[in-house]
Amino acid sequence: DQQVKQNSPSLSVQEGRISILNCDYTNSMFDYFLWYKKYPAEGPTFLISISSIKDKNEDGRFTVFLNKSAKHLSLHIVPSQPGDSAVYFCAQFSGTYKYIFGTGTRLKVLA
Amino acid sequence: DAGVIQSPRHEVTEMGQEVTLRCKPISGHDYLFWYRQTMMRGLELLIYFNNNVPIDDSGMPEDRFSAKMPNASFSTLKIQPSEPRDSAVYFCASSHSGRVGHTEAFFGQGTRLTVV
Mean pLDDT of chain B: 93
Nearest residue of A to residue B104, measured between CA atoms: A46
Residue A58: CA count within 13 A, CB half-sphere: 3
Select from A66, A104, A85 the least CA-distant residue to A12. A85
Query: What's the confidence (pLDDT) of residue A17?
Result: 97
Distance, in Å, from the CA atom of A18 to the CA atom of A78, rounded to the nearest integer, reads 5
CB distance B68 to B76 below 8 Å: yes
The residues near B30 (Cβ < 8 Å, ≥ 6 apart) are: B50, B51, B72, B95, B96, B97
Which residue has better confidence, B97 or A95?
B97
The residues near A48 (Cβ < 8 Å, ≥ 6 apart) are: A34, A35, A57, A59, A62, A63, A64, A75
The pLDDT-based confidence of B96 (bands split at 50, 70, 90) is confident
Q: Which residue in A6, A49, A101 is closest to B104 by CB distance?
A: A49
Whether pLDDT at A11 is above 60: yes
Residue B25 has what DSSP assignment? Answer: P
Does any CB of chain B come closer than 8 Å to the CB of residue A30?
Answer: no
Going from the C-alpha of A106 to that of each of A18, A49, A50, B50, B72, the distances in angstroms are 15, 19, 21, 32, 34
Asked if omega into A9 is within 30° of 0 (cis), the reply is: no
Whether pLDDT at A1 is above 70: no
Whether pLDDT at A98 is above 90: no
| Residue-wise pLDDT tens digits, A56-70 | 999 999 999 999 999
Total number of residues shown for chain B:
116
Whether pLDDT at A5 is above 70: yes
| Residue-wise pLDDT tens digits, B16-42 | 999 999 999 999 999 999 999 988 888
* Chain B nearest C-alpha distance from A11 (Å): 16
B43:A89 CB<8 A:
yes
Q: Which residue in B35, B102, B106 is closest to A93 by CB distance?
A: B102
Does any CB of chain B come closer than 8 Å to the CB of residue A50?
Answer: no
Chains A, B: CB contacts within 8 A come to: 59
Using CB atoms within 10 Å of the CB of residue B71, give its burial: 0 to 12 exposed, 13 to 18 middle, 19+ buried: exposed
* B contacts of A104 (beta carbons < 8 Å): 42-43
